[in-house]
Chains A and B, each alone.
Chain A
Amino acid sequence: RKEVEQDPGPFNVPEGATVAFNCTYSNSASQSFFWYRQDCRKEPKLLMSVYSSGNEDGRFTAQLNRASQYISLLIRDSKLSDSATYLCVVNPLNTGGGNKLTFGTGTQLKVEL
């Protein structure tokens, strides 16, 4: 089982739609969770951290379900500019120091007119 698993998509949605991505992780002891956004041929950029209580930033809501070991990202009122790949990120099974993170392979979102 991969440490972090995501549906690769693509998710094709119309502008204004609500879309949700899920991500599962294998290490029940993980404490750090993030969503990153990556545009085509660009570097990943931090979208938001994911906290146990859930958190919201404008149109974006992230939630953590520790019991089921999954993280979700909800995007409301999708914009064309939201088209990107969304990476789920978790601290790995064996950190061995180094402040390391494990990245999922990403879910591609395409927002269409």
Chain B
Amino acid sequence: DAGITQSPRHKVTETGTPVTLRCHQTENHRYMYWYRQDPGHGLRLIHYSYGVKDTDKGEVSDGYSVSRSKTEDFLLTLESATSSQTSVYFCAISELGTSGRGVNEQFFGPGTRLTVL
């Protein structure tokens, strides 16, 4: 299994509080991703990173920010959590696809279950 850990694994918080989720990898992969997974929606990309200090928005980025100060760590922050952000959050990593092969597969961390009351 790819070396990806997420912390915390479970969190319950209240509306309006800040929350930071951490993803840590030991694979030295260039790309890192944060997804949320909700019933009926599947996995939706929140933000991704293509290198240290290089990040970009995904399809559901409102209300979230990210930072990547080291290759191995990718942080997801909810500045002021809302009940709509109750979800399961997955981190994933990937390497660059080789020429002509399109994009490479992604490997996922175990997930964080976040409940915002």
Contact = CB atoms under 8 A, between A and B. Distances in A.
Interface of A: 30-32, 34, 42-46, 49, 87, 91, 95-101, 103-106
Interface string B19-45: 000000000001101000000111101
Contact of A99 (B40, B43, B50, B107): B50
Specify the main secondary structure of chain B where it touches its partner.
loop
Given A31-B100, A98-B50, 14 more contacts: A30-B102, A32-B97, A32-B103, A32-B104, A42-B110, A43-B109, A43-B111, A45-B108, A46-B105, A99-B94, A99-B103, A101-B103, A101-B106, A106-B42
A99 B104 contact: yes
Report which residue of B58, B95, B96, B106 has the largest number of chain A beta carbons within 10 angstroms of its beta carbon: B106
A91 B103 CA distance: 7
A103 B43 contact: yes
B86 to A, nearest CB: 15
Decide if the interface of chain A is mainly helix, strand, loop or mixed. loop
A31 B101 contact: yes
Given A99-B31, A106-B42, A43 B103 contact: no
B90 A44 contact: yes
Contacts of B41: 105
Interface string B43-67: 1010010100000101000000000
Contact of B107 (A32, A42, A46): A46
Given A98-B31, A105-B40, A43 B90 contact: yes
Nearest to B111: A43
A99 B96 contact: yes
Contacts of A30: 102
Contacts of B104: 32, 99
Contact of A97 (B50, B58, B95, B105): B50
B56 A98 contact: yes
Contacts of B107: 46
A32 B102 contact: yes
9 contacts: A43-B109, A46-B105, A97-B50, A98-B56, A99-B94, A99-B104, A100-B58, A101-B103, A101-B106
